[in-house]
Chains A and B, each alone.
Chain A
Amino acid sequence: MIVRISGEGQYRLDDSDAQRLNELENDVVSIVEGGGEDGFAAAFATLLDYVREHGAELSDDELEPSDVILPPSDVSFEEAGREFTGEGLIPD
Chain B
Amino acid sequence: MAGLTGRMSTVVKAKVSKLLDRAEDPAETLDYSYQKQVEQLQNVKKGIADVVTAKKRLQMQESGLQQNVVKLDTQARQALAAGNEALAKTALERKNVAQTELQSLDTQVTELEEQQQKLTDSEQKLRAKIEAFRTKKEVIKAQYSAAEAQVRISEAATGVGEQMADVGLAMQRAVDKTENMRARADAVSELEAAGTFEDITQLGSGEDDIDRQLKQLSSQPAVEDELAKMKSELGQGAAAPQISAPGGAAAAEGAQGEPAQAEQPGQSGGQG
Contacts and interface: CB of A to CB of B under 8 A. Distances in A.
Given A62-B159, A67-B2, A7 B9 contact: no
A63 B133 contact: yes
The interface centre, meaning the residue of B7, B158, B159 with most chain A CB atoms within 10 A of its CB, is B7
- Interface footprint category on B: 35 or more
B158 A65 contact: yes
A29 B113 CA distance: 29
B8 A25 contact: yes
A71 interface: yes
A11 to B, nearest CB: 13
Interface string B101-131: 0000000000000100010001011001101
Interface string B1-17: 11111111101111010
Contacts of B18: 92
Interface string A1-41: 10010110100000100100110011011000000000000
Given A61-B128, A63-B133, A63-B159, A68 B170 contact: no
A83 B8 CA distance: 8
A67 to B, nearest CB: 5
B156 interface: yes
B128 A60 contact: yes
Contacts of A89: 7, 11
Size band of the A side of the interface?
A: 20 to 34
Most buried by B among A6, A9, A64, A74: A6
Contacts of A72: 169-170, 173
B170 A70 contact: no
Given A60-B124, A61-B129, A68-B13, A4 B162 contact: yes
A22 B132 contact: no
Given A29-B7, A65-B162, A84-B8, A1 B132 contact: no
Given A60-B132, A68-B9, A6 B2 contact: no
Contact of A7 (B4, B136, B166): B166
Interface string A50-66: 00000000001111111
B11 A28 contact: no
Interface of B: 1-9, 11-14, 16, 18, 114, 118, 122, 124-125, 128-129, 131-133, 136, 155-160, 162, 166, 169-170, 173
Closest 9 CB pairs of A and B: A63-B159, A60-B128, A25-B6, A61-B132, A1-B2, A63-B156, A69-B13, A7-B170, A67-B3
